Amino acid sequence: MAHEMYSGFFTEFYDILHAGLTDVDSYIEFARKFGPDILELGSGTGRILIPLARAGFSVTGVDYSDDMIARCRAKLELEHESVKAKAAIVKQDVTQLKLDRKFDLIIAPCNMINHFLEPAPLIKMFRGVKRHLKPTGVFILDNSIPDIPYMVDINRVERIAAFEHPLTGTKIIDRFTSTYDFVNQLEHNVIHLEEYDEEHNLLREASYSITMAYYFPRELRLMLEMAGLEVFHEQGSLDEDIPIGADSTQMVLFAR
Ligand SMILES: C[S@@+](CC[C@H](N)C(=O)[O-])C[C@H]1O[C@@H](n2cnc3c(N)ncnc32)[C@H](O)[C@@H]1O
């Protein structure tokens, strides 16, 4: 049986899968520039939220997945009291954002918006962002730019990757198949995870499926504008302030 993706074994695998990303450093830089009071939409396991709190910023994370929130809370428990005091996690659907305060900086990192399969809920989330920004506040959205030639190549092809569990040393095999609906800009993903010990005994396995959308810069600019947000800066990379060009693989939009 395929499970909803942000549950069980996958929530543990999430941090292993994303361990190589350098986006945390970029968000700490953005927090220095636009913080200190930050709201993260879809804060997940706290991969970005916890380092922001460690760096001294006050961060509220919103997520709707019980298992991702539980994992984030468990990780926060291991932190110093001063870090715990800087972090708050709220269970909420970001399309119904209702917090009793406003923020200097709101972030939607790591392709978070690809969870919205239709424009309407995404625009709803953007309107919520607008309502929760202080008058001088900034919203930062970072997303991959769809690489159509690559997507055509990998369409329906099973890809296999191996990881070592950083705590237990076990081997995790990730079998991943994406099927694209190029007309409706949707990606159907099926993921099968297996975990083996040193003697190659199967310890755990689980299957997940999730459908996500993919977005291009022009439609995001339009949707932000429809929600009353003005894009005042754009970068084609999280690490570098370069324009979004024909070869960009990332888009980072800054709005207020
Ligand atoms: C790709 S993960 C990103 C997690 C974290 N920001 C990071 O960079 O590691 C997306 C997260 O958004 C959450 N999410 C997706 N749609 C949501 C919604 N409508 N309301 C609240 N959380 C949502 C998921 O549960 C998941 O934890």
Q: What is the pLDDT of residues 70-95, one digit of tens each?
A: 999 999 999 999 999 999 999 999 99
Q: Is 95 in the pocket of ligand 1 (CB under 6 A)?
A: yes
- Nearest Cα residue to atom 8 of ligand 1: 110
- Mean pLDDT for all residues in the chain: 95
Per-residue exposure over 62-72, b if at least 16 CB sit within 10 Å of its own CB, e if not = bbbbebbbebb
The amino acid present at 230, given as its one-letter code, is E
Please provide the CATH number assigned to the domain covering 148-213: 2.20.130
Q: What is the pLDDT of residue 155?
A: 98
Q: Is 238 in the pocket of ligand 1 (CB under 6 A)?
A: no
Q: What is the pLDDT of residue 93?
A: 97
Q: How many CB atoms lie within 10 A of CB 195?
A: 20
pTM of the model: 0.95
d(CA 236, ligand 1 centre) in Å: 22
- Nearest Cα residue to atom 11 of ligand 1: 42
148-213 and 2-145+215-255 share a CATH fold? no
Q: What is the pLDDT of residue 6?
A: 77
d(CA 25, CA 218): 27
Q: What is the pLDDT of residue 2?
A: 66
- Nearest Cα residue to atom 20 of ligand 1: 93
d(CA 199, ligand 1 centre) in Å: 35
Q: Which burial class, exposed, middle or buried, applies to 253 when counting CB atoms under 10 A from its CB (0-12, 13-18, 19+)?
A: buried
Band of residue 4 on the pLDDT scale cut at 50, 70, 90: confident
Per domain, the residue ranges of the chain are 2-145+215-255, 148-213
Q: Determine the average pLDDT of the residues in 126-146.
A: 97
Q: Is 42 in the pocket of ligand 1 (CB under 6 A)?
A: yes
No. of H helices and E strands in the chain?
8, 12
CATH superfamily, region 2-145+215-255: Vaccinia Virus protein VP39 (3.40.50.150)
